[in-house]
Amino acid sequence: MNHSGLPVPGKIVSNRQLINEHYLMTVNLPEPIMNPLPGQFIMVMLNRRGEVFLGRPFSIYNYNRRRNKATIDILYQVVGRGTRLMAELERGDTLGIFGPHGKSFDMFPHVRNVVLIAGGMGVAPISYLASYYKNNIKAFNGNIICYSGARTSDHLLGMDRLIATCSSVHISTDDGSAGYCGAVTELFAGELPGYVPDQCVLYACGPSPMLKRLSEILKGHAIPCQVLLEQRMACGVGACLGCVVEVIHAGEESQYARVCVDGPVFDIRDINWNTTLGES
């Protein structure tokens, strides 16, 4: 186990394009990082042609530990220079892995229904959460129900893994090219009356407007809901204050929380959704 604060060197096993600008990278670690919990993230450090880039935060899509080594899967989208360089990496190339960082999802092993809502790249941490419930929470014997949304059928990610893990998967696309025509939040809203609050827990990850809309749908409903915020980060350890969001706890004045250390998982009812949230 690495305790030096230095990155664990990872060697790329594969780095393949899935759809559009979305890639799946599998990295071998010569020594395991601390077992990551669902909702936590890693910082990936690139060192390319003598240039050192700030670390990029990524959710964990999958993690397998075998004795003194481990394999981690990173599902990512090319959105800028750093991720473009990641997409150019090949088998045998190396990068640095810091982590895991952040607060994880709370687990509820005795509920009847674990309901997951994923929008876009939010499918990565949601998929890891689903597999963790199924494979690691021995007391859990309920249903895992996933709602996954994307712009079009060509943008749906990780369906095979979700279908293999979840009891049922409900799909929505903005243009109706697959599943429900419309936002994934509206698909869920139509089925919300069928869930009993004290027998259900809800988790969600996706763009900020999606999560804000979900918070509106849940007003007046007692279902517990935790959300993972997608936020730009520079350090990942709370030093730069570049990822703060406004939180409001019941009966208290609003405060600012650092997504990287106070999150990235929050109670959906604690976030001030009227505050503009940056997206990664």
Q: List average pLDDT for each run of 10 residues in the chain, which is 280 residues long.
A: 65 94 94 86 81 79 88 94 91 92 96 97 97 95 97 93 97 96 97 95 96 96 94 67 79 81 93 65
pTM here?
0.91
CATH code of 8-101, in short, is 2.40.30.10
Q: Where in the chain is the domain with CATH 3.40.50.80?
A: 113-270
Instruction: Give Cα 266 to chain centroid, integer Å.
Output: 12
Tokens of 84: 């473009």
Q: Which residue carries 């990173």 as its tokens?
A: 74
Q: Where in the chain is the domain with CATH 2.40.30.10?
A: 8-101
Please choose, from the candidates 9, 17, 56, the residue with its C-alpha nearest in 3D space to the C-alpha of residue 235: 56
Q: How many CB atoms lie within 10 A of CB 52?
A: 10
pLDDT of residue 109: 95
| Distance between CA atoms of residues 36 and 96, nearest Å | 16
| Distance between CA atoms of residues 92 and 252, nearest Å | 52
pLDDT of residue 1: 41
Q: Are 60 and 40 in contact (CB under 8 A)?
A: yes
| Distance between CA atoms of residues 46 and 24, nearest Å | 16
pLDDT of residue 127: 97
pLDDT of residue 5: 61
Domain 113-270 has CATH 3.40.30.10: no
| Distance between CA atoms of residues 182 and 119, nearest Å | 12
